[in-house]
Amino acid sequence: MSYCLNPTCPHPENLAYSQRCQSCGSKLLLCDRYRVLKPLGQGGFGATFLAYDEGLPGEPSCVIKQLRPTATAPHVLQMARELFEREAKTLGKIGNHPQLPRLLDYFEDNQQFYLVQEYISGATLQQEVQRNGNFSEAGVKQFLSEILPLLQYIHEQKVIHRDIKPANLIRRTEDARMVLIDFGAVKNQVTQGVNGQSEQTALTAYAIGTPGFAPPEQMAMRPVYASDIYALGVTCIYLLSSKTPKDLEYNPTTGEMIWEPIVQVSDHLTSVLRKMLEVSVRNRYKTAQEVLRGLQMEPYIESLAKGMLAKSDVGAKEHIHNQIANSAILCSSPPGSASSAGVAQVAAAIRARRAKTAENGANGVMRPKAMMAKSTNFENHNSHGSQNHNPNVVRKLSTQNLLTAYLKGRRDFALHNLSMLNLQGADLSGTNFNSAKLQKTNLQGANLNNSDFGRASLTDANLRDANLTKAYFSNADLEGADLRGADLSHAYLSNANLRGANLCGAILTGAKITDEQLVLAKTNWMTVRPNGKRGLL
């Protein structure tokens, strides 16, 4: 079928490969290359359509977003054009990420505005819940561990999404990874103080986000990065209860959603969600990293509480829960304060536990049965990605188990211990290794295109001649890694530790990397710089 994009066409459906609409006479081949097949969605300010790109071999699928202003007055068209161009520029700037749709084209035609984006095949989280029911606590934690690093990346680009909700999160069919779509309501923090009142009027009318998911400051046209964290918290409540904000009651005094009685989760996750959903920005998590920090401390709550119970009273465990739940605030306390001292004790205990676990693993010490049970359960997935394990516990995998899991369609190995594995020449493209341990792992010649190594430890890893195009290395530790001859074209290396990394002969064309990072690494005249030129700095 060929679908007509004329907003006033009474009968837009046409026969396949028709040149003009039989109803209104409009051309059906947009820009002489894009053939629209069917509508995907409709909003107050535009519509999206599935299309084929007949200008490319194989006619790949794409998504056409048509901006449809509700009025034709000159100032409305100008406002639409500004919002449209902002969305296009935002997608162009942040699109080099495996969990975001790529911008393929944008143009204006007969006072209609069009964006062409990569088509993401899969079901939205809203559809998953409607088909399969509520997420488990483990499923929500897994979701957060995957989406929070993405949110951090977006905020590092000084972009506020402003419309995070289940309908805008798609689990991609090919690799089961979460993809965030619809940047029509974005707020670019860099320009928000420049555009003036006209922009505020435009956004008030059309792009404030979705009521219930948007926090009060966003509805008042004063969004901050923490606004996205609130929306993410509301999304978690939906995943746990299948109830939208309009289905929930609110505290008439504070304006807070009353959600705790309808979800059954641990005290720790409750405290994290409570802090994500604070009505006051002052009391809410400020960054995605703070939320991750709160979640990642959970595996140590029981051991820390037991240690304090042995020395103190039965209230110690509750004290530890409160201390960890408020870790983001405590960590910002001045050095030498009581709060800072308390966090230092918790951090020391965590480091000691990690060191002991690593030592036991290296010496082949038998793990407790409880930990072995958690490790065994990681293969047990349900249809919407929840798992019967604690996603914050690092799990050890063998080379064969990893490769077998990948061949069966598994693409998520976040937080796993993959150190010293021999994966030479393996095809592991599009894999999530976020926060995984890959010290001294042999990945020579491996295909790791579009893979996520955010916060992963790759010290002394062998990545020689590996395909790392469009790989994501934000905050990864690559100290001493061998990257000779590796293809890092358009890779994202912001805040990655490259001290002592060998980049001789590596290709860094279009990579997100600073000169300061390159100074710490080893390079030679064969190294291809981000600007495409060879040579030393």
What's the N-to-C CA distance of the chain in angstroms? 55
* pLDDT value, residue 412: 86
Q: State the Cα–Cα distance between residues 504 and 482, nearest whole angstrom.
A: 9
Residue 111's SS3 state is: coil
More reliable by pLDDT, 505 or 317 = 505
Residue 40 has pLDDT above 70, yes or no: yes
Q: Which two tokens stand for residue 134?
A: 């509520």
User: How sure is the predictor about 385, in pLDDT bands with cuts at 50, 70 and 90?
Assistant: very low
CATH architecture of 2-118: 2-Layer Sandwich (3.30)
Alpha-carbon 243 to chain mean position? 23
Mean pLDDT over all residues of the chain? Answer: 78
The answer to whether residue 181 scores a pLDDT higher than 60 is yes
* pLDDT of residue 289 exceeding 70: yes
Contact 493, 475 (CB under 8 A): no
Q: pLDDT confidence of 473, banded at 50, 70, 90?
A: very high
CA-CA distance, 325 to 141, in Å (whole number)?
15
The rounded distance, in Å, linking the Cα atoms of 97 and 473 is 10
* Sign, Cα dihedral of 337, 338, 339, 343: positive
Could you tell me the two tokens for 336?
Answer: 């030498």
Nearest-angstrom CA–CA distance, 247 and 177: 28
The pTM score is 0.55
Name the more confident of 132 and 334. Answer: 132
Instruction: Please tell me the predicted confidence (pLDDT) of residue 208.
Output: 66
Matching fold, domains 2-118 and 123-289: no
Whether 57 has a pLDDT exceeding 90, the answer reads no
Q: Is the pLDDT of residue 210 over 70?
A: yes
* Over residues 169-174, mean pLDDT: 91
Q: Is 228 a catalytic residue?
A: no
Are the CB atoms for 129 and 279 separated by under 8 Å? no
Domain boundaries of the chain, sorted by first residue? 2-118, 123-289, 299-345, 393-537
Higher-confidence residue of 332 and 251: namely 251
In this prediction, residues 335-362 reach a mean pLDDT of: 46
CB neighbourhood size of 280 (10 A): 13
Q: What is the pLDDT of residue 537?
A: 55
Least confident of 33-37, 92-96, 123-127, 466-470: 92-96
Reduced to 3 DSSP states, what percent helix, strand and coil does the chain have, rounded to the nearest 5? 35, 15, 45
Residue 397 has pLDDT above 90, yes or no: no
The domain defined by 393-537 carries CATH number 2.160.20.80: yes
pLDDT tops 70 at residue 386: no
Set 105, 109, 163, 487: catalytic member = 163
The confidence score (pLDDT) of residue 377 equals: 35
Predicted local distance difference test score (pLDDT) of residue 185: 57
Closest CA to 474 of 245, 155, 236, 168: 155
pLDDT by residue (tens digit) across 231-282?
999 999 999 999 999 999 998 888 889 999 999 999 999 999 999 999 999 9
220: pLDDT strictly greater than 90: no
Indicate the pLDDT class of residue 74, thresholds 50, 70 and 90: confident
Per residue in 107-139, pLDDT (tens digit) is 888 777 888 988 998 999 999 999 999 999 989
Ranges 33-42, 350-359, 365-374, most confident: 33-42
Nearest residue to 15 via CA among 3, 27, 7: 3
Indicate the pLDDT class of residue 211, thresholds 50, 70 and 90.
Answer: confident
- pLDDT per position as a tens digit, 436-458: 999 999 999 999 998 999 899 99
Residue 375 vs residue 179, higher pLDDT: 179
Q: For residue 466, what pLDDT is reported?
A: 95
Give 70's pLDDT tier (boundaries 50, 70, 90).
Answer: low
- Write the Ramachandran bin of 182: left for phi over 0, alpha for psi from -120 to 50, otherwise beta: left
Helices (H), 99-196: 125-132, 137-156
CB 124 within 8 A of CB 170: yes
65 is in an annotated binding site: yes
Task: Kindly state the average pLDDT of the residues 38-51.
Answer: 81
* Out of 63-72, 147-156, 441-450, 506-515, least confident range: 63-72
Q: What is the pLDDT of residue 69?
A: 64
Q: Where are the beta strands (DSSP E) in 384-501?
A: 395-396, 416-417
Fold of 123-289: Transferase(Phosphotransferase); domain 1 (1.10.510)
pLDDT confidence of residue 150: 93
Residue 329 has pLDDT above 50, yes or no: no
Quick one: pLDDT at residue 355? 53
What pLDDT, on the 0 to 100 scale, is given for residue 461? Answer: 96
Q: Which of 72-86, 290-304, 329-343 has the lowest mean pLDDT?
A: 329-343
Comparing 75-84, 181-190, 233-242, 378-387, the range with the smallest average pLDDT is 378-387
Query: How much is the pLDDT for 96?
Result: 75
Portion of the chain with pLDDT greater than 90, in percent: 43
Tell me, what's the pLDDT at 1? 84
